[in-house]
Structure 1
Amino acid sequence: MKERIIYLVDMQSFYASVEKVINNAYRDKPLVVAGDPERRSGIILAACPIAKKYGIKTTEALWEAQSKCPDLIIVKPHMQRYIDVSIAISEIMGRFTDLVEPYSIDEQFLDVTGSQKLFGDQYQIAQKLQEAIMRDTGIYARVGIGKNKALAKMACDNFAKKNKNGVFRLDEHNIDLLWKLPVGDMFGVGSKMKRHLNNMGIYTIGGLAKFPLNLLKKKWGINGEVLWQTANGVDYSPVKVTTHNKQKAIGHHMTLPRDYSNIEDIKTVLLELSTEVARRCRVKGYMGVTISCGVRSSDFDSPTGFHRQVTLPIPTNFDMDIFNAAFKLFKESWDHQPIRSLGVTIGNLQPADNYQIDLFDNYLEREQLNSVLDTIWNKYGRTAIFRASSLTGAGQATERARKIGGHYK
């Protein structure tokens, strides 16, 4: 069987790079893309290479970055702009292969195994892809190469980003380079897992690769085997263009502009979130039965909160069903401390065209109402019609409609 040639293509400092392409005056200046500090989202989302030389890192507070570089250029995010560029980059990748799997807005997996007769070997294709992306968008791409997705991802994150030409292949011949790295640098290992592994005496990726598999499986089951396989460069998952076609859950979360401690104010936001989750469910053609409510407190130093869920007797995509369940969960779990973020999710999704109805509920009437609402929203936008409670000081519907992914369009 022919060995696969898999890429993980990553856009360097994507948001910041897009802003520099749009405004050439920023090209040689230290620039970061950050949220609005007045609305409690003053976090660095992206820093250009020049800014990174000052020690500025993604996710650090804006004030910290400014203390490191007083001349820092600060640009608020333009999410629609980034989405448009990301789609354009996907189209460029489609010229080289039809197997393109989005991993995030600035990272995509490609399988170019069958493209070599048309475009050259794996390194030539990588170079041509970089050149095409730079020529058409002005964005510099780094390419990690491997015989599977895990190796390609780790090749990009740990080596291609530091390589002069932005390309690196990781395989069994040089995997010892990977094994020397801290275990926290491995694909799939977060901060919590890193602590667990360190407590077991595992500090490097090589240490994990050589750790007894039976002990890892005993502790974490199948996840333990996945960790061991990743450390050894094993990954059987193919590049799939349909990876994101089927959702497991639909949710909406928001960081509040101020501390919310009044139950009526919180109720207003919960209702808005439930309405948006229900609308997204209907747009995607789903119903769900598991409702989740998540809360985080306003204490930045010692945050508290909860995440609770309940299963409904029948599936739904109606906002009041979702809201009533979420609000009940909230009241049962809230410690009456001010909160700074709130989220609602519906899970265990199923197609909305085939479901069991409740004989004691007028589903037809509610379906007709929601059909009218969806028609108005689709034609005139999300602010065309909303509940009167959203006009109160607690309401966030109009402000949220101006954003994509929590950031302004």
Structure 2
Amino acid sequence: MRGLCVVALGDPDAALAGEVTAALAARGFEVFGTCSLDRLPDPPFPTGQALVAFNPLLESETTPAAAFASPELARAAHLVSTLPATPRLRITRSEAEAERIARSLLGPEGMAELDAALAAARAGMATDRTVLADLSRFKYRAKVERVAHGGGTAILKTFRPAARDALAREAHFVEHMARLSAVPPRLLARDDRSLLFEDIPDALRRPRILGLRLPLPLPLAHVRTLAEFVRLCCAEGFDAIDLTPRDNVLIDARTGRLRAIDFEFAARREGPVPPERSYVLSGVPRDAPVALPLLNAMDEDPYPSKWRPYTGLPKASFLGDPPWLQRLKRATLHPFWLIGFAAGAALRRRRHGRDRAASLARVAWRPAAGSDAPREAGAERREQS
């Protein structure tokens, strides 16, 4: 069953169940129900309970059978692995394994109810327009589709019921800032579950080598437009937390101008904010009362990794230097900085891969110690590697 996962909790309590439910929701999985582990012939813990969850937006993709081969399941498992109670948690390694375990937990009647709940959730996210392409990068909070609109196309962003706060933040930001700047997309229509934006044809080229994007700076004119937009947002009391030239900047093929999209986490501050102290450029304090994407390193300074490779400038220069000085620094200083950054990035990527693999292995579903129940093919080999 596409989009299904099961999480086992050993010696659970309400707080732990709430943390796991929140982690799954942050990765797009909705909890269908809770069952006792004693219904399983090979439980991962002697006592405890299991949460059966599904992601209703994964219905159209193939179902990988290998452990954590599904990117969506791997991301959910990785987030679960960051919880303090990791030794008391196990998550299914594949959707085939999840379906087998769910059938044991729920029985035929419960599985029929699960099918009905999944169908209802999918119907609630269905699009009543002609869909031309699915553009969703992640499907944690919303799905993004190119749809037919009038005589052309538009971008429809349909939000999950649990993510309507993100809809409200993005709509509020775009409606306000689009009156003052041409950078945000035009909002064509909205309702209680979706936003319809103009479709911006992107002319920005993102060259890759071996699947990795090359961190090449934007043209200086676009960098200066981006700096002006950040200053304007801060002056208006907005902090566009999820804005980065790495992830959500476009070059409008119709005009050649810089544009930006995706503002689900744009925060309204109490008043104007100095740009150099904004969350978008300097990171979000742990106690800041704002919504924040999980595991995206925004509790640290994001500028060195998410901004500087694409601006070609240190933060202070990006915000304040005149064009001639910026050109000089991009030509003379940035190539040396970029060499060091690329070398460090390769090491960080390798270390992250090792740490992530170890985290997934810690929470991978497996029978309790001493059980002689059959294991998923290849599981022992994967855990030892």
The two structures have a TM-score, normalised by structure 2, of 0.27
